[in-house]
Amino acid sequence: MKAKKLPSGSWNVQVFVGVDQNGKKIRKSFTAPTKKEAEYQAASFKAHHQEITRDSSSMTLSEGIDKYIEFKGGTLSPSTIRGYRYIQKKAFPSIINIKLNKLTSHKVQSAVNAEIGIKTAKTLKNELGLVKSVVKMYAPSVSLESVTLPQEEKFEAQELTLQEVIMLLRAIVKDDFAIPLLLAICGGLRASELSALKWCDFNPQSGTVAIHKAIVRDIDNNMVMKSTKTKNSTRHFDIPQFLVDKLSAIERTSDNIVTVSQSAIREHLTKICKNNDLPHVRLHDLRHINASIMLYLGIPTKYALERGGWDDIKTMDKIYQFTFKDEKKMIDDKINSFFTQALEE
């Protein structure tokens, strides 16, 4: 590996690292002010590359994330890759450049502890999940099973009462942003599904909506179309007649039913809650509310799963469904009344 002097006066070395899927050679370029420095950088990279080829656990955690994303390829959605790259850039700075075979439960736990109170439990769970997946694939002898996470926070909308949900629904119906918000609360649509919904997905005769696409942000922050989040997320269901009527009355100026951005919908929902003295509700919270209404109405689990597009009962039950505060108080009173009356008889 001999460095070549560039017209600028700097020195450059190119190292062959392999070929791509089309058979084209891949080279890594190193440029430095001096010949010696450029050749040293190239030699160090080549030695490390050869070490990784012999033993994948010699990669750093950051390099492992690169390889993991490359290996998973088309099985990862653009938004998932974007999330992984964000984790690679922002998470666990104390271990991101440590070799996988040098990671220990103690080092990873310390990295997790350093972010407690700064990031949410859900974010930490996602970050650690990626680390464990990378380690399991490229350094299977390293065990991180003893690493623990803080308890996840309770869902905000657990403080809603059934009456507040009804007030929110009535406020939404009269609002300029009624269509996307009604689809979210009545149909349980995700924000990504709202953005992808087209007029051909709506059947006014049968009063049904079909969900089979989603729009998410990719690594370059561009909005891109993809398949639904999971196989079960592809679904169709009936919607209330008042929503059918509202959709049917809209002048169609685009192929898309929802023509405003997700951020605009979120901001408007915040205003609705503020103007009606309601607790703050996020756009995704409307999906939670939809699941909880099904629970309140006693909808059989199988039908609730199909309508909401969840993969399993655990996800719907643990994450999405909550009990309304005022209904819970009624149940508590009923139970307490039973024991009181039992003693009085």
Per-residue pLDDT of 253-276, as tens digits, reads 899 999 999 999 999 999 999 999
Q: pLDDT digit string (tens) for 139-175?
A: 999 999 999 998 876 555 456 888 898 999 999 998 8
Residue-range domain boundaries for the chain: 4-54, 61-138, 156-328
Which pLDDT band holds residue 318 (cuts at 50, 70, 90)? low
**Beta-sheet pairing, 11-19 with 235-238:** unpaired
In percent, how much of the chain has pLDDT > 70? 90
> What's residue 230's pLDDT?
72
CA distance 150 to 325: 25
Q: What is 139-185 written as a DSSP string?
A: -TT---TT---PPPPPPGGGG--HHHHHHHHHHHHTSTTHHHHHHHH
User: What CATH architecture is 156-328?
Assistant: Orthogonal Bundle (1.10)
Q: pLDDT digit string (tens) for 111-141?
A: 999 999 899 888 999 999 999 999 999 999 9
Residues in CB range of 123: below 8 A, 6 or more apart: none
Q: pLDDT digit string (tens) for 215-255?
A: 888 877 788 888 877 777 888 888 899 999 999 998 888 99
CA distance 337 to 326: 17
CA distance 78 to 83: 9
CA distance 131 to 110: 14
Residues in CB range of 204: below 8 A, 6 or more apart: 244, 247, 248
